[in-house]
Amino acid sequence: MAAIRKLCPNAQICVDRFHLAERVNDAFDELRKAEFKKAKDSNDTFQLGMLSPQRRFVLVEREKKLKKGDLKMLDRLKELNKNILNGMILVEHFHRMLDKTDVIEFRKSLLLWYGLVREAGITAFKNLASLIRKYRNYIEAYINSKLTTAKSEGLNNKIKVLRRSGYGYTNQTSYLNKILQRCGYLNSRFIKTSDWFWRLPADLAQNTPF
């Protein structure tokens, strides 16, 4: 941020929603780990299964996206574990808060969220609330602009997966070509990609160093 202020003094700094969601998920995961330890100490097999690392993404997923079976299991977990229930409420309200399109409505929702955090008394969310207070102006810039780095983050993720699956590349050109193939050529209107495999058109292939 200091570099942006110095080099781009007229730019508006905006905290991206992707990173905000990452922060709230991290706060919930810290809570999940603490509750998992308690379940392990008490030998609660149901909660151990529900709070296992493999299910951590299900717990923070918005309920409207979950299957009926997962919803029933979550309802039972909420009945058994008050802290997890409070944590899930905080995560859901946080997302609803970021859905706001008006800054005034966002501020009202944020005040309510702060109150819920105080009542819940969960340390991880208290720390998150302090961070939100510090960068609130930049979050409001997101509410106003709805600017997001989602597309670039998606491309970066594809490139990282490509690098891992290729076990590294011997030269930069080969790596670049695979990136273009994965992130560029598949969007080309000149190439049929509906089949399970495809070839470049002959005239294009002659000029492409694969």
Q: Looking at per-residue confidence, does 98 or 18 come out higher?
A: 98
| Distance, first Cα to last Cα, the chain | 40
Residue 186 has pLDDT above 60, yes or no: no
Residue 147 has pLDDT above 60, yes or no: yes
Provide mean pLDDT across the span 47-55.
87
Angle between helix axes 103-120 and 82-98 (nearest 10 degrees) is: 170
Query: Which residues, including other chains, have CB under 8 Å from residue 181's CB and lie 6 or more apart?
Result: none
CB atoms within 10 A of CB 66: 15
* pLDDT per residue as tens digits for the range 74-127: 888 889 999 999 999 999 999 999 999 999 999 999 999 999 999 999 999 999
Residues 193/195/196/201 CA torsion (nearest 10 deg): -50
Residue 208 has pLDDT above 60, yes or no: no
Band of the pLDDT at 198, cuts 50, 70, 90? very low
What are the residue boundaries of the structural domains of the chain, listed by start? 9-145, 150-205
What is the C-alpha to C-alpha distance for residues 54 and 134, in angstroms, rounded to an integer? 32
Give Cα separations from 24 to 43, 88, 150, 198 (angstroms): 28, 10, 17, 41
Query: Which residues, including other chains, have CB under 8 Å from residue 81's CB and lie 6 or more apart?
Result: 35, 47
Residue-by-residue DSSP string for 119-135: HHT-HHHHHHHHHHHHT
pTM: 0.71
| Of the candidates 152, 149, 155, the residue with the CA atom closest to the CA atom of residue 182 | 155
> Residues 80, 20, 39, CA angle at the centre, nearest 5°?
20
CB atoms within 10 A of CB 44: 17
Provide mean pLDDT across the span 140-163.
85
